[in-house]
Amino acid sequence: MEENLSAILYGKNDLRIENRSIPEPGPGEVQLQMQDVGICGSDVHYWTNGRIGNFILTSPMLLGHEASGVVSKLGQGVTNLKIGDRVAVEPGVPCRMCKFCKTGRYNLCTEIRFCATPPIDGNLARYYCHAADFCYKLPDHVSTEEGALLEPLSVGVHACRRAGVTIDSTVLISGAGPIGLCCYLTAKAMGAKQICITDVDDNRLKFAKNIGVHHALSVRSKTSEEMATQIETTLGQRPEISIECSGNPAGLKNCMLATGNGGCVVMVGMQPDEVTVPLLNAAVREVDIRGTFRYANCYPTALSMIATGQVDAKPLITHRYKLEDSLKAFEHAKTMRDGAVKIMIRCAQG
Ligand SMILES: [Zn+2]
Ligand SMILES: [Zn+2]
């Protein structure tokens, strides 16, 4: 059997690195020699819990969805790419037929096949096949690591679009993990005038300052009311937009109280099913609360931000592992020790 080393999740806390056969591209697909795959919190969560909400692992599944590769074979009918092209892989391929797909909101398609969401395989492997129209050719000066970073950056692009970030916006970002930082980089590129980011972890706040965040505030041992006041004082006004990336109900409460009248709170972090929040306070001040789910039509924008130099996402990568050492990489991602932000796995040999 030809070698296709793959990181396969068999069950809770059972990740194995083993060989599978090299897949052949179907019609409209390309075979990719995988280059770089970033580890996402969701990959770690499936590994440690075997499920996220209603998505439950019932059979072995490849992990990984923040990926780039080099085209190694063309399936029937593929004309947009050629062998040797370096591409970023948009991991969700929708049905292309339903109302949501046809109106451009394909992230809401109920038939979407998204990498490393059970039962769909991810792409943490040497070789992987993907729909050619969900692969984006990288210009020569954009690295394949940056290509992999287009995935979390697309989450930032979608969140900022849903929030209406524009030139002159004042923005609060709750949570300084990889997604919070991607929202920050995107909001800045979209022209936000002032951005404040909050977290419980001082090391994360320090990291945020190192990549250019002016206002990084600790939320530890403070009430939401105290935070709202401190954020207003820091920014010189209440934020018009808050982007909640922590997934913590306290973070959502902070956002709702801090956001100015007529503003908007966008939810990116996965909250528990039911949470207690100051809903009436938000309602009578006409603060909109908006959900987000992944992204749609964001990869070209994320790529443009990188290719033009408007965003430098490379500093987000703090650690690198080889595919063979994926288990070590996941152990590292579980604890996020040594100031880990984005851990990248190199899938290509040599
Ligand atoms: Zn992810
Ligand atoms: Zn659809």
**Domain residue extents for the chain:** 5-137+313-346, 155-291
Ligand 2: centre distance to CA 131 (Å): 15
Residue 160 confidence (pLDDT): 98
Q: Distance between CA 275 and CA 219 in Å, rounded?
A: 19
Ligand 2: centre distance to CA 93 (Å): 9
Ligand 2: centre distance to CA 133 (Å): 15
Q: Structure pTM? A: 0.97
**CB-based neighbours (< 5 A) of ligand 1, an ion:** 40
- Parts of the chain with a pLDDT under 70: 1-2
Topology of domain 5-137+313-346, CATH = Quinone Oxidoreductase; Chain A, domain 1 (3.90.180)
Residue 350 confidence (pLDDT): 72
User: In this structure, which ligand is nearest to the CA of 177?
Assistant: 1
Ligand 2: centre distance to CA 158 (Å): 18
3-class secondary structure per residue, 19-50: ECCCCCCCCCEEEEEEEEEECCHHHHHHHHHC
Structure-block tokens of residue 210: 């190192």
Ligand 2: centre distance to CA 314 (Å): 33
Ligand 2: centre distance to CA 296 (Å): 12
User: In this structure, which ligand is nearest to the CA of 106?
Assistant: 2
Nearest to 63 by CA among 83, 79, 48, 78: 48
According to DSSP, the residues that pair with 34 across neighbouring strands are: 69
Q: Distance between CA 217 and CA 205 in Å, rounded?
A: 7
Which CATH class, in words, describes the domain spanning 155-291? alpha beta
Residue 2 confidence (pLDDT): 60
Residue 72 confidence (pLDDT): 98
Contacts of 299 (CB under 8 A, 6+ apart): 88, 90, 136, 150, 154
- The b/e string for 296-313 (b: 16+ C-beta within 10 A; e otherwise) is bebbebbbebbeeeebeb
